[in-house]
Structure 1
Amino acid sequence: MKTHLFTLILLCSPAIFAQVNVEEKSVQVKPNLELNKVYNYSFTDQNFSISVNDTISKVVNNSLKSLELIDKNDFANKFEFVNGKNSSNDPDAFYRDFINNSEGIKYQFTTNPAGEFLELLNVSDIENNLLKVTERLGKQKKKSEDYKANITHIEEMVKSKTYVPYIFEQELHVFNFFNGQYFRLGEYYEGKSMQENIFGFPISSTTNTYLKEINLADGSYTIVSDQNLSKDDFEKLWEEMAYYMLHDAKLNLTQEQVKKEIKKYSETVELKVKYENTYDLNSILLKADYLFSLNIGSKKTVNKLTIKRLDD
């Protein structure tokens, strides 16, 4: 059965807001977290670059994070999200140090009662704490000019007032991806969506989302969403990124030369995104898997984020 995404609005009546309806074989993703209870999660962010089936680089960032519902009313929920211990093998010394020294930073945000993100509240506090990290790193001796330049660059981004909210929403995006939605076994929800990015070129995608299973034996259910992104939109983004990279490399290529180089690979571009989240019967996240896969010619770039709840 094919169902367009806009019909979800019609399904979201108050009578459907039970977490799992066994008779209907349906679920409503409305997280029912306990007030003032801390939920602990591990985040594993892996980035691979592969050429001709050989992995040529692998960067892994591991972190512990906690989530706590600290206040709620009939209109909104207020959460605190805290960075725990971080470890990274990023080959860039500055970014590795920056990630590893970001422990303890707190993010306070709100969602609607269904768990859909509304607003990051303490942006100024987060910015100040991130700048304290760069200040400490800047006081270390015997750092390269590239290291110092990276400090300046990240400080400029933090001070831009848009960087912190954008980065946080991207991190929370996988965590909250299915919140507020209704699904029934055997139904496939097709539609289009837009994926924002920091370069300013939204990429449209076709999505196929479905309830994979309800597992009453272990008290969980799983939802999957496959996305195929627009090649035309991606080429526009790729072109913009190419200009940045060529400018940084100080290569004097004309706009036409850049477009010509990009077109050489346009037929080989394949960009896919997949989300697979598993929840307990209270719609509290147990595990999330996010996969970004980009093929260009003989090269493949993969980003994989895995989130696991540690409490159970």
Structure 2
Amino acid sequence: MTSLLSAEPPAEPLPVPRTVEGVAAGLRALLANGALELPLPGHGGLARRWTALAAYGRRDLALARLAEGHTDAVAILDEAGRKPEPGSLYGVWAAKSGGTGAVLDDGRLSGTVRFCSGLTTLDRALVAAGDRLVEVDLSAAGVQRHPEVWQALGMDASDSGDVVFDSVRVAADSVIGPPGWYVERPGFVFGGTGVAAVWLGGVAGVLDVVREVLREKADEHQLAHFGALHTAIAAADALLAATAGVLEDAPDPAVLNDTCRASVEHAAREVLDRAPRITGPAPLCHDRGFAQRLADLQVFVRQHHGERDLAALGRRVLEVTP
């Protein structure tokens, strides 16, 4: 069976306890050794791209969040016929949560953007401002970072928080694409499925720990839960692997993207429910790395909006089904 997950878990886990500085150092190392230079969407290399993203997630979800954001920004720039600044780490900041968001007015960027990952680590960001996308040098005057607003234990080392843009000057050549281009371009869908590949790696990372717990001793109830987790993860993995070969040429890629995301989200919910029932309290209380993996997954997978996204998928399926 074709898989995005390697037979062996990734080497070199991040030091525990994990820190923002440690994740940033790991990300800089990936940039320096070329590990973030993934096949670009639209050129037939999605399987290799998603395999790399899944490997990042299996290693550490905070690191993977920043790695995926950088690679997504590079892909967006490529789709716009642009090149990233050499040696720079990028992110994509596009959240419009609770009425927040950035606006571009007469060459000035203003507003608050929430859920910005890498806010003290990254060099540059692609920021959604209304219906425009702009590239921002994060050392510019008026860029105000607020990591203190992030109170979650999950993804705590992803360097996330709010960014306030206080009349930041944006040159005309830093505006990317025409109005609406960011969400209307073909690569928007490819990026959404790439995030699902990271989630897939995250659930596989939890299963790696559970597997080692069960090697010491396992009863039939634990094995039943383990079998259910294996099935859910294998199904999501197979779906993403198959989708990687057809998504770029699909007549309705949004349905495939949303189906993949829903499949991995379902697997993640199974993991979050069953893994602690398999292990009991000991690893949750004595293994910081395992507890962190579960906390990270709980937060990160909520980029999927649950029933709202499932309803949108159901609506699309009805529209395209004869």
Q: How high is the TM-score relative to the length of structure 2?
A: 0.28
Greater Rg over alpha carbons, structure:
1
Larger fraction in helix:
2
